[in-house]
DNA sequence: AAAGATTGATATATCAATCTTG
DNA sequence: CAAGATTGATATATCAATCTTT
């Protein structure tokens, strides 16, 4: 494919489909991409047929390499910033996977249960919960919906107030205890274990200072 | 609403709708939630009618507060970890918004253009690009699709190789230069400006060490 | 009217499968 | 077949609007 192509659409498989090579009916197929061929052999045959009429693909423009420094930041500062992004986006999927696999909740659901558990009375208004979990109001509504369907939290509208509160249930607390066991062990193994006591202190101080700079 | 309710569904607005109070036809309405009332007045009337037959909602279980320490981590270690999550998830939406508003790309699209710009020949295989941008293979396919539709990158399949390469176009580089101006100024203002030189160095070193611990 | 919660539409990521090519 | 890329289905977040209650 040549430069500038945006990978245009190919012919879609016919409805209720037959193999594009031999015409055999295709298996119904469940999730994932639907197949156009009844077997790997037919797929190969189609490939070889295509190969016969292609010519060498044109080259893309080879822009000369130049400066790579970025505006406004030194290399060191760039590393301090992008390193954080990298570390976090490598670690979070691992921690999320551990929770899904061993505690049946994802990492955002964990955060909701954890924040409720921290709060006095194991309860928190939706608005404050959204702040703590770092999602939007609609995000917290749907997170709580999912957890409520499983009986891990309830909704309360105590004393005729406008605000709705989410409340951690007994079952929710049981799930959370198991999840904390898994999750915080993971945080230690993947993050804390690689840092010195001074670095831990330094980070804790530094995050505290930065948290003040972008208001919630 | 009482505890344990999961906020069950309400009657949905009738198709092609009329006001639930006065029966007037509803305005067609564009995005967002469709309305059930023709005016705020009718909405209020429905509310007052509902109010007449509700009794005090039952209270939720008020679990006694207990221990709040978490397993496996000290308080300090917990701060060092959760502070990073908090700072990053507060800063990223701001930086994303700045890019969308002033450079017409989002922060993941920025990352793709930036990584291509860093690479020799302004080009990079899809697989390596996915690694650099920290998304899955299907994620990078779709990101490049979007950018290619706008002419900011192209696809090349040079020298009969299996791998596809994404290539930064001239237009892509123009957009990127503007975006870097906006973005890295934001990173300085929101992050770097609040740290000492020693802290910057410390962070850069520390991220380098951690990056090695969870393999790409 | 305003604060807070919810909802339909939508954007965009991942997952699980297939396609493409060597 | 294996490595790499793509795609349909799906999960889940945000956005823009309305609903709910004070």
CA–CA separation, A13 vs A34, rounded Å? 8
* Residue of A60, A85, A110, A213 to mutate when probing chain B, most B C-beta within 10 A: A60
Write the CA distances from A175 to A99, A106, A188, B216, integer angstroms. Answer: 11, 12, 20, 31
Contact status of B173 with chain A (Cβ, < 8 Å):
yes
Contacts (Cβ under 8 Å, ≥6 apart) of B97: none
In terms of Cβ atoms closer than 10 Å to its own Cβ (0-12, 13-18, 19+), residue B4 is middle
CB B186 within 8 Å of CB B110: no
Task: Please check the confidence at residue B6 and state whether its pLDDT lies above 50.
Answer: no
Residue A38 has, within 13 A of its CA and on its CB side, a CA count of 11
CA–CA separation, A3 vs B167, rounded Å? 7
B70, B78, B69, B75: which is closest to A181 by C-alpha?
Answer: B70
Q: What is the pLDDT of residues B130-180, one digit of tens each?
A: 999 999 999 999 999 999 999 999 999 865 567 899 999 999 999 999 999
Q: Among A14-23, A118-127, A146-155, B83-92, which is the least confidently predicted range?
A: A14-23
CB A103 within 8 Å of CB A112: no
Q: Which residues in chain A (50-69) have CB-CB distances under 8 A to chain B?
A: 56-57, 59-63, 65, 68
Q: Which residues in chain B (80-139) have CB-CB distances under 8 A to chain A?
A: 80-81, 83-91, 94, 117-118, 120-123, 134
Q: Of all nucleotides in the shown strands, which has a C1' nearest the CA of B20?
A: D19
Task: Please check the confidence at residue A53 and state whether its pLDDT lies above 60.
Answer: no
Name the token pair of B98.
């700045």
- Distance from residue B150's CA to nucleotide C19's C1', rounded to whole Å: 25
Q: What is the pLDDT of residues A155-194, one digit of tens each?
A: 998 655 678 999 999 999 999 999 999 999 999 999 999 9
| pLDDT for the residue B68 | 79
CA–CA separation, B175 vs A77, rounded Å? 23
Q: What is the pLDDT of residues A65-114, one digit of tens each?
A: 455 789 999 999 999 999 999 999 999 999 999 999 999 999 999 999 99
Name the token pair of B60.
């939720």
SS3 labels along chain B: CCCCCCCCCCCCCCCCCECCCCCCECCCCCCCCCCCCCCHHHHHHHHHHHHCCCCCCCCCCCCCCCCCCCCCCCHHHHHHHHHHHHHHHHHHHHHHHHHHHHHCCCHHHHHHHHHHHHCHHHEEEHHHHHHHHCCCHHHHHHHHHHHHHCCCEEEECHHHCCCCEEEECHHHHHHHHHHHHHHHHHHHHHCHHHCCHHHHHHHHHHHHHHHCCCCC
Q: Which of residues 65-94 of A touch strand D (CB under 7 A)?
A: none
CA–CA separation, A202 vs A2, rounded Å? 51
More confident residue, B84 or A30: B84
CB A106 within 8 Å of CB A96: yes
- Distance from residue A202's CA to nucleotide D16's C1', rounded to whole Å: 42
CA–CA separation, B101 vs B99, rounded Å? 5
- Distance from residue B35's CA to nucleotide D18's C1', rounded to whole Å: 6
Helix (H) or strand (E) holding A8: none
Nearest Cβ partner for A1 among B151, B157, B195: B157
| pLDDT for the residue A56 | 45
Q: Which of residues 159-198 of B touch strand D (CB under 7 A)?
A: 162-164
Name the token pair of B27.
């305005």
Asked if A60 lies within 8 A of B158 by C-beta distance, the reply is yes
Any atom of strand C under 7 A from CB of B99? no
CB A168 within 8 Å of CB A116: yes
Any atom of strand D under 7 A from CB of A40? yes
SS3 for A176? helix
Q: What is the pLDDT of residues A102-150, one digit of tens each?
A: 999 999 999 999 999 999 999 999 999 999 999 999 999 999 999 999 9
B115, B175, B108: which is closest to B142 by C-alpha?
Answer: B108
* Greatest Cα-to-Cα distance within chain B, rounded to the nearest angstrom: 77
B127, B165, B115: which is closest to A68 by C-alpha?
Answer: B115
> B25 — phi, psi (to 5°)?
-65, 145
Any atom of strand C under 7 A from CB of B12? yes
Tell me the β-bridge partners of B154: B167
Write the CA distances from A58 to A5, A54, A61, B155, B177, integer angstroms. Answer: 11, 11, 10, 11, 27
Q: Judge if pTM exceeds 0.85.
A: no
Asked if A204 lies within 8 A of B88 by C-beta distance, the reply is no
Mean pLDDT of A10-36: 68
């Amino acid at each position: 494919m040549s430069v500038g192509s945006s990978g245009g659409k190919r012919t879609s498989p016919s409805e209720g489909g037959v193999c594009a090579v031999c015409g055999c009916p295709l298996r119904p197929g469940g999730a994932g991409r639907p197949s156009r061929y009844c077997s790997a052999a037919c797929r190969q045959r189609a490939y070889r047929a295509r190969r016969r009429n292609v010519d060498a693909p044109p080259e893309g423009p080879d822009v000369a390499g130049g400066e790579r420094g970025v505006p406004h930041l030194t290399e060191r500062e760039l590393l301090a910033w992008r390193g954080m992004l990298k570390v976090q986006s490598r670690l979070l999927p691992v921690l999320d996977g551990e929770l899904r696999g061993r505690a049946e909740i994802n990492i955002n659901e964990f955060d909701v249960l954890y924040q409720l558990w921290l709060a006095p009375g194991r309860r928190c208004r939706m608005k404050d919960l959204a702040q703590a979990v770092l999602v939007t109001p609609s995000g917290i509504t749907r997170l709580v919906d999912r957890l409520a369907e499983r009986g891990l939290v309830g909704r309360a509208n105590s004393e005729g107030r406008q605000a709705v509160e989410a409340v951690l249930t007994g079952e929710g607390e049981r799930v959370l205890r198991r999840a904390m066991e898994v999750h915080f062990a993971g945080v230690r193994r993947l993050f804390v274990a690689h840092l010195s006591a001074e670095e831990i202190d330094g980070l804790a101080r530094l995050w505290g200072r930065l948290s003040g700079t972008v208001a919630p």
